[in-house]
Structure 1
């Protein structure tokens, strides 16, 4: 596992997004019902419409488990060129993906398994991979502050 130690911004964010799109086949964004309205993020969802895969009401997603029977809308998207362009247009920072201005917890999946897991409001993210090629590519992103940590 690679723990990201500080917020990837600007060129680091852009290169991390490029790599996630190279390796992964989908990503998700989360809309929590208690943190804003669809009116604010509606235009964002519209920009991503051509990349849309599905929306699920979930109490658990890549970085979070809600309690007390709460759910959120989790939007899944394909990693295509349109989506990559939109993610780079809307933000230049991984931890900017927080409501009410943007959907939350931008996270990526490879073959159905969480790969880049982000909890934006907690300012935490990590990459779950044991693939040496991927590790080398991740750690070679200039300016990315990250370290390898073994799973407990």
Structure 2
């Protein structure tokens, strides 16, 4: 995996979502419970935000670690969705860049999977992401 600290924005972000749509089975993002003032209200906000892709939700679980973060004693909600045309459009419409997925407007830390293998994981608030070298090479060829 390559670690990259430059944000992917605009047209390049949309192209990345198209590449991920073709290569990934599902994606996930995180809602950190430490950042929730009133948990029930934030979860209701998340329900409204994800209304258009609610049928694509695989599960919402409580976790203490994910691809880019390990919490000590705290937990977060991990939302997992099927990757398909509808969810790819959702990702394009709601985020203008990888690092724009950040609290409070959006959930954080997008992760994309090809089966059980993570091919891209973002740590929005730390402004970095890790990406599979082959997938990154595919994106680079598209942008040439």
| TM-score under structure 2 length normalisation | 0.88
* Counterpart for residue 108 of structure 2: 104
2:75 pairs with 1:71: yes
Contact 1:40 1:101 in 2 (8 A): no
* Counterpart for residue 123 of structure 1: 127
The number of residues matched between the two structures is 139
* 4+ residue runs over 6 A deviation: none
SS state at 1:16 partner = helix
* Counterpart for residue 149 of structure 1: none
Bigger helix fraction: 2
Contact 2:34 2:75 in 1 (8 A): no
Unpaired runs of 5+ in structure 2?
Answer: 37-41
Distance 1:95 1:141, change over 3 A: farther
Distance 1:82 1:19, change over 3 A: same
Contact 1:50 1:82 in 2 (8 A): no
Contact 2:21 2:83 in 1 (8 A): yes
Distance 1:55 1:39, change over 3 A: closer
**Cα-Cα RMSD:** 1.7
Contact 1:40 1:100 in 2 (8 A): no
| TM-score under structure 1 length normalisation | 0.84
